[in-house]
Structure formats: C-alpha cells, structure tokens
Structure 1
C-alpha cells in the first residue's frame, strides 16, 4: 500500500519542482526566455585572427587577464578573419540558450550559452558566461552573475519581465 501511495505522489513532487528558480536571477537555474535581447551599447573590435573577446566586471579583457574564478563572458563571432572585426552597438536576439560543461584541472566549467542573432551583424554568434568551480559545486552562472560580468557594456532585456534595478531602460 505504501508503494502505491508513493507512486501516486511522485508526479506531484516532480511537477512542483519543475519551475523552481526559473525567474529568480540569483539562481543558477534561472531561465532566460527565448526572444530576449542582449543590447550592446558600444562598439568593440575583435583582433585579427581571433573570433572572440572576453568580458569581466564590465570591461573587455584579453584572456590572460580574466580571473577564471569570477564570472566572465566570451563574446564570439562565427569565424576569425585575417583583419580586425568591429562589432557596432546593436541589439541581438537570443535565439537559443543552453549550457556546456567541461572539466579542466579538477575544476568544472558550466558555461551558460546564449546564441545570438542580428540581421545587421550576422557574424555575431554567441555569448557564453562561466566561472570555474570545483567539480562538486559546478553550476551555471546565475542571471545576477551574468549581469555582473556584462556591466554597462551590454544590457540583458528579458521578454515578458520588467527591467531589474540598475538595468538600463
């Protein structure tokens, strides 16, 4: 009889946890709705022979200067060119989100990945944000940590949600 009760209550337990943390930007399980926008407020130049540039604490940084143990983001293009590429201020639609997990040197890196689209700048590919953590505690960056890494360079505008405090209108 106890097994029967357990089987009947399991669906209720799972359904009550399904959306947990989705709208809380402090949660690593925070969901960024598709169709949200990432607004770049200033032009940035990607060096020749590179397809990405890094961002931490609201500053563009070369990879050797990024503190891997604090939230940081990688703004990526589809392919490198043999000349510098300038991306101008623009709005990028978030077409897909996900996570990528990698383990290096005993650390787990779970990157939050935002695939981006812009009709004006189709070479822009994605933004991935992460922080190195021990394999026991590895989880994606929260929405708050993502915003911390972006600073005032980008604004994350969520579809169907009011802007959070300190976010540009």
Structure 2
C-alpha cells in the first residue's frame, strides 16, 4: 500500500521527467580550469564559457568545487559518481523600480506585473577519490516565467556538456 504513494522512477532518458539516477558516472574528458577567486566553471553548447557570456535563455551547466582559493584550480579528467540528485530553482532578480518625481511612471521590474523569471536546475552531487574538492555538477534549463520554467531534459544536459563530459546512467 505504501508503494502506491511512491512515484515510480522514470527509466526512459527521452522522457521530460527522467533525471540522472544516483550511482551514475560523470566522465570528464578534458581538464577544466577555475579562475582565481571563483568556485565554478561554466559550460554551454559544449564549450567552456565565462558567466558573463552565458545565455540565460539556453541550457547550461557548471562544475563546482568546495573551496574558494585565490589561485587557479584544475579539475582533471576523471570519473565522478553521482551520490545525490536534487532539484531546485533560482529566481532571476529584475531591475529595480525607477520612479520619476515620486510617480511610478517607469517600472522595469516584474513587481506586481506577473510571475517571476526563474531557472530550474538539477544538482548532481559528485564524489571522486582522486578529487574530493569537486562538489557537484549543476545543470540549468532556460530561464523562463515561473509557470513555463522546466527542469533541464537529459538530452539538453548531454548537449550542454558536449565532448567535455559524458554521463553513464546507473542501471
């Protein structure tokens, strides 16, 4: 009877409800460099990119490390095990309201004007004996209004990572 209340795992990677299973392997094929004073390296359309160059309206991922240091950090090619998978979303902060002569003539934010823009994501918590500083792979779908925002599809995550990394789902 309890099993009737537990959602069945979706096993078809083509399904929009499929998520990378715990126990899967993320295989990093090339070294990644994290800039000094940062903890993430961003990937979009199969290429490493800087945060300022990300297209927030297109899926993207980032590898994250635990420690912030003031020297470049390397993530070496390795096989990482997915220990935990979580869903989340982040609200995109809009422009502050602009008021002219105490009148609310111009407003650039969505405050009171509709749903907020959000980006939904999966956190794939990673482990590696060789690189314990590597914490997770976070993959976002495109930013959209809250009712239309989706989690990234498995095919989008694969396309985002391109030749940089591949996923071997656990069976």
Q: Using structure 2 for the length normalisation, give the TM-score.
A: 0.80
Q: 1:17 to 1:134 in 2, by over 3 A?
A: farther
Is 1:121 matched with 2:131? yes
How many residues of Structure 1 are paired with residues of Structure 2 in the alignment? 147
Alignment of 1:21-32 (within 5 A): 22-32=10-20
> Do residues 100 (structure 1) and 110 (structure 2) align?
no
Work out the CA distance in 1 between the residues paired with 2:67 and 2:5. 43
Query: Are 1:47 and 2:58 counterparts?
Result: no
Q: Is 1:144 the equivalent of 2:165?
A: no
Change (3 A) 1:17 1:125: closer
**What residue ranges of structure 2 are gaps of 5+ in the alignment?**
95-115
Q: Greater shift after overlay, 23-32 or 111-120?
A: 23-32
Return the offset for 1:16: 9.9
Deviation at 1:122, TM superposition (A): 0.5
- Name which structure has the greater RCO, CA cutoff 8 Å, separation 6+: 2
CA separation in 2, counterparts of 1:103 and 1:37?
29
In 1, distance between residues paired with 2:50 and 2:76?
19
CA distance in 2, matches of 1:68, 1:62: 12
User: What is the deviation of 1:23?
Assistant: 2.2
| CA-based RMSD | 1.9
Structure number having the greater helix percentage:
1
Q: For 2:56 and 2:26, how far apart are their aligned partners in 1?
A: 23
1:17–1:139 Cα change, 3 Å:
farther
Alignment map for 1:1-169 (pairs within 5 Å): 15=4, 18-19=7-8, 22-104=10-92, 105=94, 106-131=116-141, 132-160=143-171
Runs of 4+ in structure 1 deviating by more than 2 angstroms, as ranges, are 14-20, 23-28
Structure 1 residues not aligned, in runs of 5+: 1-10, 161-169
